[in-house]
Chains A and B, each alone.
Chain A
Amino acid sequence: MATYEMNDDSVVAVIGSGAGGGTLANELCQKGVPVVLLEAGKRESRATFVNDEWASFGQLAWTDKRTTSGTWRVARDFPNLPAWTCKAVGGTTTHWAGASLRFQRNEFKALTNYGRIGGANLLDWPLTYDELAPYYDKAEDKLGVTRTHDVTGLPGNNNFKVLYAGAKKLGYKNVHTGRMAINSAPRKGRLGCMQIGFCFQGCKSGAKWSTLYADIPEAEATGRLDLRPESFVTRIEHDDRGKASGVVYFDKDGKEQRQKARVVCVACNSIETARLLLNSQSPQHPNGLANSSGQVGRNYQRHMTGSVYGIFDKPVHMWRGTTMAGIVTDESANNPKRGFAGGYEMETLSLGLPFMAAFLNPGGWGREFASAMDGYPNMAGMWLVGEDMPQETNRVTLHPTEKDRFGMPIPNVHFDDHPNDVAMRAHAYRQGKTIYEAAGAKRTILTPPYPSTHNLGTARMAATARDGVCSKWGQTFDVPNLFISDGAVFTTGGSENPTLTIVTLAIRQADYIADQLSKQTL
């Protein structure tokens, strides 16, 4: 653990300690780079995590007020909670389910493969699968992803048994307990999975990878990390030459602080990353920092999502064991014959009784709702997650009037489903329902999207400064020592859960930053 002076301009300031920022900070520290890691949330631990959905939500979730607009149903059901992400050391790696899938080769070339689609701001990534492959290897090894690097798969729970039986009856080929960053046996100082359930509430055994108890302690052990929890960054500043010079933040006592920096890396999860860039406007950057393209905050993607629950005449007890216990990958390839571009995954999901009541049919009441809840012990559940279309009008903006307690405008999140998203969701619902019916479901329930946990694209990578905010290294085109280090860089979303790719890009970015620092080009 290090302590750097506020005016020490040799440090790399990383904002956000989740999959992107936490990984980047550790990788830089391992290479000898001094890092100040600023995290808005508190430092919880495996000991303080609770197996209680509402209490844990209060402990970990980012609940600062946001507003919503657009035709997505989340805006109606959860008008002030567009996203379910975390404010805690470890960020949303405390909450993620652990699904760790590589992007498919073709998904880096969405524009080439899908062609122009009306209303969609499609673009190919400025990098290829082959460029990322060695880093995917490193990320899988770091996280201990099952079914990679000789790590055994997890044993399937009851929820998986139901998914498997139904999917096989439909003729699906690729059905298994997934590639998960959850230890099936002790590995790298983390225990094996105890099948606790409550993966979303902070893994109390530590079997699930999180920067909170994996990368951050490793970084602290180097003596180069200065982790500052409860530090809320409101502005990134730059000097006359146009280089980022430091960050302004409010510490745990609400006192304004100014940390100088040689390099600034933003990893606040797409909504806050865009908000911070937009709020850092200056005479040189009147539309927000690094926003000469006008793309900051735009192309906000949240994945096509939805859930299907099947009610059977015998018990399932889906809450027992890993939340995301298995996957069907057969629908993840691009197959335009289905009537939409891109693909989707089907992954088991379970919610505890309290969250089932909140999310099964938000706003629902009456006998139909209650009778579905009566089936709770006999329920199996799956989550549908697929590629959604980037749209320029799906956008994070600064609220014109409402400000937070630090005087920073709160973000508004605008989202409209693209017709491609709607067609994909309809297909996925149908397939999910059919899977459960094939396994003997007496009733199936189609649940609308939850607040977004996959938030992507608001500072996207592009080949040119006209089309995006940053290069294939996450380096912003406008400010050379300013980097984007989270899912905001995703040019398109793919059908896979994004964390593994965020970690992969962060490891690769650390190599690049360390190299540029040694060459004195930053």
Chain B
Amino acid sequence: MQPTSPSRREFLKQGSGVLIGALVFSSGPIALLAPSKVWALELSALDEATGRALLRFARHLYPHDTMEDAVYAMVVKALDKGAADPGEKKLLVDGVAALDRAAGGDWMAKSPDRQLVAVKALEGTPFFGKVRGTCVTALYDNPLAYAHFGYEGSSWEKGGYLQRGFNDLKWLPDPPANASPPLARPGA
């Protein structure tokens, strides 16, 4: 590809875009983290329509109904980064086109059930594998996902869980001391 001077018109035509969304659950754990209810993801390789379709595709692959789009946008962000490579970009753009073909028209405009049928039809394709593999690492490994699932992440800087609930489960009886001794004290 020839490098061209990126006039605004060219820039738009070549299509990088911005994904904008709003948090749905105003009182959820992610809302507590977020500085604003609106989130935006600037895309550098993909256009907005492709970005939106990929986000929806990721929601079908890993449907967590109460998880914000803002978390799924992490998948689009990772895919967009990879799409700096023209081959990867083509894989994604062609993949979205294949969804449209499988759905017999605009995939995004179909009902969720019909969308899912098209997703299943693409299982086993490189496009499907690419998005699914990216979901595994990008969707579940970020602070927003941690907050959604209640996973606490790095703990050493807080002194671990020794004084923070490593054994705070109360809905089962505590094992006896010979199976689970009390905390050993040095010199005790």
| Interface residue ranges, A against B (CB under 8 Å) | 50-54, 152-158, 160-162, 164-165, 175-177, 184-186, 192-198, 204-205, 314-317, 319-321, 326, 352-354, 356-358, 363, 365-367, 369-370, 373-374, 376-377, 439-440
* B91 located at the interface, meaning its Cβ lies under 8 Å from any Cβ of chain A in the complex: no
Chain B interface SS verdict (over half)? loop
Q: Which residues of A contact B141 (CB under 8 A)?
A: 53-54, 353-354, 357
- Whether B149 pairs with A376 at a CB distance below 8 angstroms is yes
* A317 with B162, Cβ < 8 A, contacts A204-B156, A365-B62, A366-B61 known: no
Please list 24 pairs of residues, one from A and one from B, whose beta carbons are closer than 8 Å in the complex, sorted by A's number. Answer: A52-B153, A155-B181, A155-B183, A157-B161, A158-B167, A164-B179, A165-B173, A176-B178, A176-B180, A177-B180, A186-B186, A194-B160, A196-B155, A205-B160, A315-B150, A320-B155, A352-B153, A354-B140, A357-B136, A358-B137, A365-B61, A367-B63, A369-B62, A373-B62
- Whether B146 pairs with A353 at a CB distance below 8 angstroms is yes
Q: Which residues of B contact A154 (CB under 8 A)?
A: 181
* B73 located at the interface, meaning its Cβ lies under 8 Å from any Cβ of chain A in the complex: no
* B185 located at the interface, meaning its Cβ lies under 8 Å from any Cβ of chain A in the complex: yes
**Across the two chains, which residue of chain B brings its CB closest to A322?**
B166
- Whether B171 pairs with A155 at a CB distance below 8 angstroms is no
* A160 with B180, Cβ < 8 A, contacts A196-B160, A321-B166, A353-B146 known: yes
* A51 with B179, Cβ < 8 A, contacts A196-B161, A205-B160 known: no
- Whether B175 pairs with A376 at a CB distance below 8 angstroms is no
- Whether B139 pairs with A357 at a CB distance below 8 angstroms is yes
A179 to chain B, nearest CB (A): 13
CA distance A194 to B155 in the complex (A): 10
A273 to chain B, nearest CB (A): 31
Contact of A197 among B64, B161, B183 (CB under 8 A): B161
B139 to chain A, nearest CB (A): 7
- Whether B63 pairs with A370 at a CB distance below 8 angstroms is yes
Which of B153, B168, B169, B179 neighbours the largest number of chain A CB atoms within 10 Å of its CB? B169
CA distance A205 to B162 in the complex (A): 12
- Whether A177 pairs with B179 at a CB distance below 8 angstroms is yes
**How many B residues face the partner with a CB closer than 8 A?**
47
CA distance A374 to B63 in the complex (A): 10
- Scan residues 130-156 of chain B and give those whose CB is less than 8 A from a CB of chain A: 132, 135-137, 139-141, 145-146, 149-156
Q: Which residues of A contact B160 (CB under 8 A)?
A: 193-197, 205, 321
**Across the two chains, which residue of chain B brings its CB closest to A183?**
B184
Q: Which residues of B contact A175 (CB under 8 A)?
A: 175, 179
A347 to chain B, nearest CB (A): 14
CA distance A50 to B141 in the complex (A): 14
- Whether A51 pairs with B156 at a CB distance below 8 angstroms is yes
**Across the two chains, which residue of chain A brings its CB closest to B183?**
A155
- Whether A185 pairs with B185 at a CB distance below 8 angstroms is yes
Q: Which residues of B contact A157 (CB under 8 A)?
A: 161, 166-167
- Whether B62 pairs with A185 at a CB distance below 8 angstroms is no
Q: Which residues of B contact A195 (CB under 8 A)?
A: 160-162, 166
**Across the two chains, which residue of chain B brings its CB closest to A352?**
B151
Q: Which residues of A contact B181 (CB under 8 A)?
A: 152-155, 177, 184
- Whether B180 pairs with A353 at a CB distance below 8 angstroms is no
**Across the two chains, which residue of chain A brings its CB closest to B145?**
A353
- Scan residues 102-123 of chain B and give those whose CB is less than 8 A from a CB of chain A: none
Q: Which residues of B contact A185 (CB under 8 A)?
A: 184-186, 188
Known pairs A164-B179, A192-B184. 4 more at Cβ < 8 A?
A154-B181, A184-B181, A321-B167, A370-B62
* B159 located at the interface, meaning its Cβ lies under 8 Å from any Cβ of chain A in the complex: yes
A345 to chain B, nearest CB (A): 16
How does the 8 Å CB contact mask read for B43-63 relative to A, with 1 for contact and 0 for none? 000000000000000000111
* A161 with B175, Cβ < 8 A, contacts A321-B166, A358-B136, A373-B149 known: yes
CA distance A34 to B165 in the complex (A): 47
- Whether A321 pairs with B161 at a CB distance below 8 angstroms is yes
CA distance A352 to B141 in the complex (A): 9
Contact of A155 among B62, B167, B172 (CB under 8 A): B167
Q: Which residues of B contact A321 (CB under 8 A)?
A: 160-161, 166-167
* B174 located at the interface, meaning its Cβ lies under 8 Å from any Cβ of chain A in the complex: yes
* B182 located at the interface, meaning its Cβ lies under 8 Å from any Cβ of chain A in the complex: yes
* A314 with B171, Cβ < 8 A, contacts A354-B141, A370-B62 known: yes
* A51 with B154, Cβ < 8 A, contacts A157-B167, A161-B172 known: yes
Contact of B137 among A152, A164, A354 (CB under 8 A): A354
CA distance A366 to B62 in the complex (A): 5
B118 to chain A, nearest CB (A): 14
- Whether A158 pairs with B156 at a CB distance below 8 angstroms is no
CA distance A246 to B175 in the complex (A): 55
- Whether A320 pairs with B182 at a CB distance below 8 angstroms is no
Q: Which residues of A contact B63 (CB under 8 A)?
A: 366-367, 370
**Across the two chains, which residue of chain A brings its CB closest to B150?**
A377
- Whether B140 pairs with A353 at a CB distance below 8 angstroms is yes
**Across the two chains, which residue of chain B brings its CB closest to A168?**
B175
* A156 with B175, Cβ < 8 A, contacts A161-B167, A184-B184 known: yes
Q: Which residues of A contact B161 (CB under 8 A)?
A: 157, 194-197, 320-321
Contact of B151 among A152, A164, A319 (CB under 8 A): A319
- Whether B132 pairs with A365 at a CB distance below 8 angstroms is yes
- Whether A373 pairs with B179 at a CB distance below 8 angstroms is no
CA distance A156 to B186 in the complex (A): 18
CA distance A358 to B132 in the complex (A): 11
How does the 8 Å CB contact mask read for B85-110 relative to A, with 1 for contact and 0 for none? 00000000000000000000000000
CA distance A369 to B164 in the complex (A): 30
A115 to chain B, nearest CB (A): 36
Q: Which residues of A contact B136 (CB under 8 A)?
A: 357-358
CA distance A186 to B132 in the complex (A): 45
The 8 nearest A-B residue pairs measured at CB: A156-B180, A194-B160, A51-B154, A321-B166, A196-B160, A357-B140, A354-B141, A195-B166
Q: Which residues of A contact B137 (CB under 8 A)?
A: 54, 354, 357-358
**Across the two chains, which residue of chain A brings its CB closest to B172?**
A165
